[in-house]
A and B are shown apart, each in its own frame.
Chain A
Amino acid sequence: MVQAHVQLMWPRAALAGLLLLLGACSVQPVAPPEPLPPVEVAEDSPAASLLALADSARARNDFSAAGRYLERALSVSRSGEATVLYRELAELRLAENEPRAAEGLALRALREAPDHPLWQADLWDLVAEARDRQGNEAGRDAAQDNAERLRKEP
Chain B
Amino acid sequence: MPNRRLNSSILRAMPKKASARFFSRSLLLKAFAVCLVLMLVGLAWLDAFVRNRFDSHQWQLPARVFARPVELYNGQVLDSSQMERLLNLMRYRQEAGAPTPGSWSRDGQSLLLHTRGFRDSDGGEPPRRLRLRITDGRVAGLAQADGGALPVARLEPMQIGSIHPGHSQDRILVRLNETPPALVAMLLAVEDRAFYEHHGISLRGLSRAALANLRAGGVRQGGSTLTQQLVKNFWLSRDRTLSRKLLELPMALLLELHYEKNQILETYLNEVYLGQDGARAIHGMGLAAQFYFGRPLQELEPHHLALLVGMLRGPGLYDPRRRPECARERRDLVLRVAQSEGVISEAVLERALARDLEVVPRGGGALYAFPAFIDLVRRQLARDYPPAVLASDGLHIHSTLDVLAQLAAEDALARTLEQRDPGAAHQLTGAVVMTAPDQGDVLAVVGDRRARSTGFNRALDAVRPIGSLAKPAVVLTALEQPRRYHLASLVKDEPIEVPLTRGQVWAPRNFDNESMGEIPMLDALSLSRNQATASLGMELGLDKVIMTLRRLGVQRNIPAYPSILLGSLELSPFEVAVMYQPLATGGFRTPLRSITDVLDLSGEPVARYPVSAEAVLDQEATFLTQWAMIQVMREGTGRGLLGVLPPDITVAGKTGTSDGYRDAWFAGFSGNHMAVVWVGRDDNQPAGVAGSSAALPVWGQVMASVPQRSLRETAPPGVEWVWMDADGVRTSGEGCRDARLYPMMTASIPQQSTSCGERRDNDGGVRGWFRRMFN
Which residues of A are at the interface with B, using a C-beta cutoff of 8 A? 44, 46, 48-50, 53, 57, 64-65, 67-69, 71-72, 74-76, 78-79, 82, 86, 89, 93, 101, 104-105, 107-108, 111-112, 115, 120
Contacts and interface: CB of A to CB of B under 8 A. Distances in A.
A76 B123 contact: no
Given A50-B152, A86-B613, A107-B613, 19 more contacts: A46-B71, A46-B76, A53-B122, A65-B123, A67-B611, A68-B596, A75-B436, A75-B438, A76-B71, A76-B73, A78-B75, A79-B671, A79-B709, A79-B710, A101-B612, A104-B614, A105-B612, A108-B588, A112-B712
Of all A-B residue pairs in the complex, the 4 with the closest CB atoms, nearest first, are A46-B73, A49-B151, A68-B122, A104-B613
Contacts of A50: 152
A68 B607 CA distance: 12
A79 to B, nearest CB: 5
Contact of B709 (A68, A78, A105, A108): A78
Contacts of A104: 588, 612-615
A105 B590 CA distance: 10
A71 B152 contact: no
Interface in B528-585: 585
27 contacts: A44-B74, A46-B73, A50-B152, A65-B121, A68-B597, A68-B608, A72-B152, A74-B611, A75-B71, A75-B439, A75-B441, A79-B710, A79-B712, A82-B438, A86-B613, A101-B612, A104-B612, A104-B613, A104-B614, A105-B611, A108-B585, A111-B585, A111-B588, A111-B716, A112-B712, A115-B714, A115-B717
Contacts of B121: 64-65, 68
Interface in B654-694: 671
A23 B441 CA distance: 34
A153 B671 CA distance: 29
Contacts of B71: 46, 72, 75-76
Contacts of B710: 79
Q: Is the interface of B mostly helix, strand, loop or mixed?
A: loop
B620 to A, nearest CB: 11
Interface string B113-129: 00000001111000000
A75 B440 CA distance: 11
Contacts of A107: 588, 613, 615
Q: Is the interface of A mostly helix, strand, loop or mixed?
A: helix
Given A53-B122, A64-B608, A48 B615 contact: no
Contacts of A108: 585, 588, 613, 615
A71 B588 contact: no
A86 B76 CA distance: 21
Nearest to B587: A111
A19 B336 CA distance: 71
B614 to A, nearest CB: 5
B748 interface: no
A111 B586 contact: yes
Most buried by B among A89, A104, A120: A104
B619 interface: yes
Contacts of B120: 68
Contacts of B137: none
B610 interface: yes
A67 B608 contact: yes
Nearest to B611: A71
B316 interface: no
A78 B439 CA distance: 14
A59 to B, nearest CB: 14
A75 B672 CA distance: 8
A93 B614 CA distance: 13
Contact of B151 (A46, A69, A101): A46
B605 interface: yes
B439 A71 contact: yes
Contacts of B151: 44, 46, 48-49
A5 to B, nearest CB: 13
A143 B190 CA distance: 75
B748 to A, nearest CB: 20
A61 B108 CA distance: 44
A75 B613 CA distance: 15
A120 B619 CA distance: 15
A60 B120 CA distance: 17
Contacts of B586: 111-112
Nearest to B139: A46
Contact of B619 (A75, A93, A111): A111
Contacts of A79: 671, 709-710, 712
B727 to A, nearest CB: 31
Contacts of B614: 104
A69 B587 CA distance: 25
A149 to B, nearest CB: 10
Contacts of B74: 44, 46
Contacts of A89: 610-611
Contacts of A72: 71, 122, 152
